[in-house]
């Protein structure tokens, strides 16, 4: 048997089928230097497999023949609110996330060692220069202390049901956001929730924690780590581990809710969209709260663009190889 019995195209199809990774993810990881001429070169075929393995979190030796590809970090992640029969998907999500988190951390060498991320202390630091703890302010603070935050535009699995993910490598961390939104209120809670997991020590070294469901829409939480992360997020965003918000004005519609939260936001030092989501959780009225966001914000904008534009200015691209930087940029939507 020759070392590489299949053409690169056949290998690509087999890789997608056997791992469950999306075609878009494998294509993003595919090296730009690859050409039809490389198909006939055993050394190029080997380089192709090692390149893909490094980007996708695969054991490179498992790609050198026809055996089933193996993920390196199959059991290195905690999954929260993982529903349905997706046991086979866990290795792909965790291994990809850890591999990608390592790349991001490598591109941000300066960091502040974290002994404790107290939510009140962090809140005070951000409020010293901003009206609220909002998405831009929180992201800026995290990049400043060496925690990269990006929003995935290419997903490892066809079912885009991952909400967010945090990764730990030694005493370094990275956060991957994955849930699309046109308003920042839910995204900043997802990010604060992940920081809660980090601050409360829920991640083991070399591992990851993956939140599958949107924590802002859960009716009741029983997982103690999720409760801790929720309370941390609320304390960071509002100053309180629990916050009940009632609409006390005339009427109960979305416009009235928007008017009320914008009226009290400055005094409370709480971002209006965050207050609207607190109202939704208190009253189990998500429809009104979601509709109110169109009156709170000037216009809907893809939140991922703002997140990744910040990331593009913070990553030290010169510390990455061209191969790695092209992959990272592709997963960030080409920014």
CB atoms within 10 A of CB 68: 8
Within 170-308, strands assigned E span 172-177, 208-211
Convert the pLDDT of each residue in 55-91 to its tens digit.
999 999 999 877 789 999 988 889 897 765 566 788 9
User: Tokens for 330?
Assistant: 């592709």
Convert the pLDDT of each residue in 171-225 to its tens digit.
999 999 999 999 999 999 999 999 999 999 999 999 999 998 766 666 566 889 9
DSSP 71: B
Contact status, residue 77 vs residue 208, Cβ threshold 8 Å = yes
**pLDDT grade for 1, boundaries at 50, 70 and 90:** very low
CB atoms within 10 A of CB 143: 18
Contact status, residue 172 vs residue 146, Cβ threshold 8 Å = yes
Determine the Cα angle at 44 with ends 43 and 49, to 5°: 100
- pTM score, two decimals? 0.93
Average pLDDT over residues 298-307: 97
Closest CA to 216 of 285, 158, 272: 285
């Amino acid at each position: 048997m020759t070392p590489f019995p299949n053409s690169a195209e056949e290998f690509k199809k087999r890789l997608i089928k056997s791992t469950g990774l999306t075609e878009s993810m494998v294509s993003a990881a595919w090296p730009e230097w690859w050409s039809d001429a490389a198909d006939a070169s055993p050394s190029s075929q080997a380089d192709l497999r090692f390149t893909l393995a490094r980007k996708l979190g695969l054991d490179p030796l498992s790609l050198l023949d026809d055996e089933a590809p193996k993920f390196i970090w199959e059991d290195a992640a905690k999954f929260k609110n993982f529903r349905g029969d997706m046991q086979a998907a866990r290795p792909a999500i965790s291994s990809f996330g850890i591999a990608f988190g390592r790349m991001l951390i490598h591109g941000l060498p300066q960091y502040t060692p974290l002994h404790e991320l107290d939510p009140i202390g962090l809140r005070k630091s951000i409020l010293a220069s901003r009206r609220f703890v909002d998405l831009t302010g929180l992201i800026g603070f995290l990049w400043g202390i060496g925690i990269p935050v990006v929003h995935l535009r290419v997903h490892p699995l066809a079912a885009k049901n991952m909400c967010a993910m945090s990764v730990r490598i030694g005493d370094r961390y990275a956060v991957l956001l994955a849930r699309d939104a046109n308003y920042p209120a839910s995204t900043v809670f997802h990010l604060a929730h992940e920081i809660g997991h980090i601050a409360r020590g829920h991640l083991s070294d070399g591992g990851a924690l993956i939140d599958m469901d949107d924590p802002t829409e859960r009716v009741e939480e029983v997982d103690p780590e999720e409760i801790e992360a929720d309370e941390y997020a609320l304390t960071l965003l509002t100053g309180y581990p629990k916050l009940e918000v009632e609409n006390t004005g005339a009427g109960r519609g979305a416009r009235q809710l928007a008017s009320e939260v914008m009226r009290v936001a400055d005094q409370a030092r709480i971002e209006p969209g965050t207050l609207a989501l607190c109202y939704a959780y208190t009253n189990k009225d998500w429809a009104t709260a979601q509709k109110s966001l169109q009156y709170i914000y000037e216009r809907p904008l893809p939140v991922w663009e703002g997140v990744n534009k910040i990331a593009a200015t913070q990553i030290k691209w010169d510390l990455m190889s061209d191969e790695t930087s092209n992959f990272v940029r592709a997963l960030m939507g080409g920014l």
